[in-house]
Amino acid sequence: MVTTPPAKGSSAQYEVTDAEQKVEALVEEQRIPDVEINLEFLYTRDIEFRQETIYFIVVDRFYDGDPNNSEGPNPELYDPNRQDWGKYWGGDLQGVIDKLDYLKQMGVTAIWLTPLFEQIEDLFIESAAIHGYWTKDFKRINPRFIGKDEEPSLNKTQDERNTVFDRLVTEMHQRDMKLVLDIVCNHSSPDISGVKGELYDDGVKIADFYDDKNNWYHHYGEVTDWESEWQVQNCELSGLATFNENNTDYRNYIKSAIKQWLDRGVDALRVDTVKHMPIWFWQEFNADIQAHKPDIFTFGEWIYSHPSDDRSVEFANHSGMSMLDFGLCVAIRAALAQGAEDGFHVIQNIFDLDHHYSGANELITFIDNHDMPRFQSLNPDPEMLKVRSPWS
């Protein structure tokens, strides 16, 4: 005698007398197969960052994959014992390559690297340019991050693309990981021993703050009134030589340099100190960059932006790029690590202001960065950092 099983999906399929068996049958029927679901139809650009998990790396402090390049052009700026916080410790792009599988296994899908441009090789207030924000040449790779004998010029390696940087891009894309390059358009370098703002175009000197015949820089001194929009956009930040965005030659130089990096495989840009330049500059910059690479995703650092701050909201809505969500960051830190009296309402208050933004869900969510104390250092009690339900 052959017994025909009930049709799949019919009520008879679930006719069991044991309640526990009935539950197990329902769970078994509804189990979702272990397959990757393609959600590309939800996104509006080829490179869609709302689905990405970004890992931020200060390159020099991450991992030394090639000890041969650690001394760099000036060995005095390298500390092999890694005790002097102002000097280089040897991290490089080979170190990032070596750790890609580790990062991928953690769920990282995009890596944001501190600026890779060639930096000044000297100490300013007992610190070298380990962070990458004192650029000497935007069209050269920092030689400390590539092979000791490799050519740092983007122009000279454009055809071969045989630097460690190019290998990093290839290895990342093979793992479906995206590269976010940190850039700075606002300034170059500070005064060191009477030299300030010396800027090069692939090794050829094109500007000098103290010999500024072609007006590449502003000369208004440091910001003294942080409530003055004019000062914030035209005066110096911490003594750094501040570019004159009204100079067409400067604008053409910085855009052509960034385009070279995009042509080498960079997927997205994080832009430093955006509040210190007028919005018309960013509108022109982003329009030109997006015309060159239409699927580029760009986000800016407007430090301590907030949905109730009109200027930072205007930037997010009209500059042509998104930005880091400092408002949400500060709220999360207050609620989860600093014991804010209003608890999660502090976070909800930020969400309630999302309507101020044209694209609130494209703001970059984060809880700390290289300019802030780390999230886990905000409270000495580790229990404070554990989110618990009221019934636990």
Cβ of 217: how many Cβ atoms within 10 Å?
23
CA distance 296 to 46: 8
343 lies in some domain: no
189 lies in some domain: yes
Please tell me the total count of domains within the chain: 1
Please confirm, yes or no, whether 272 is among the known catalytic residues: yes
- Sheet with 297-300: strands ordered across: 54-57, 110-113, 178-184, 268-272, 297-300, 322-323
Cβ of 81: how many Cβ atoms within 10 Å?
7
Q: Which residue out of 166, 272, 325, 362 is catalytically annotated?
A: 272
Here the CATH number for the domain that contains residue 292 is 3.20.20.80
361 lies in some domain: no
348 lies in some domain: no
pLDDT less than 70: residues of the chain: 1-48, 385, 387-392
What is the three-class DSSP state of 356?
helix
Q: Give the list of residues 6+ apart from residue 362 with CB closer than 8 angstroms, or none.
A: 49, 50, 322
CA distance 79 to 87: 6
Q: Residues of 11-20 as b/e, b for ≥16 C-beta within 10 angstroms?
A: eeeeeeeeee
pLDDT tens-digit map of 86-131? 999 999 999 999 999 999 999 999 999 999 999 999 988 888 899 9
Domain containing 219: what range? 46-301
Q: Which residue out of 64, 301, 325, 362 is catalytically annotated?
A: 301
pLDDT value at position 382?
Answer: 74
Please confirm, yes or no, whether 301 is among the known catalytic residues: yes
DSSP assigned state of 35: -
363 lies in some domain: no
User: For the chain, how many residues are written?
Assistant: 392
388 lies in some domain: no
Backbone angles phi, psi at 105, to 5 degrees: -65, -25
Backbone angles phi, psi at 300, to 5 degrees: -105, 160
pLDDT value at position 202?
Answer: 96
pLDDT value at position 16?
Answer: 46
31 lies in some domain: no
pLDDT value at position 22?
Answer: 55
329 lies in some domain: no
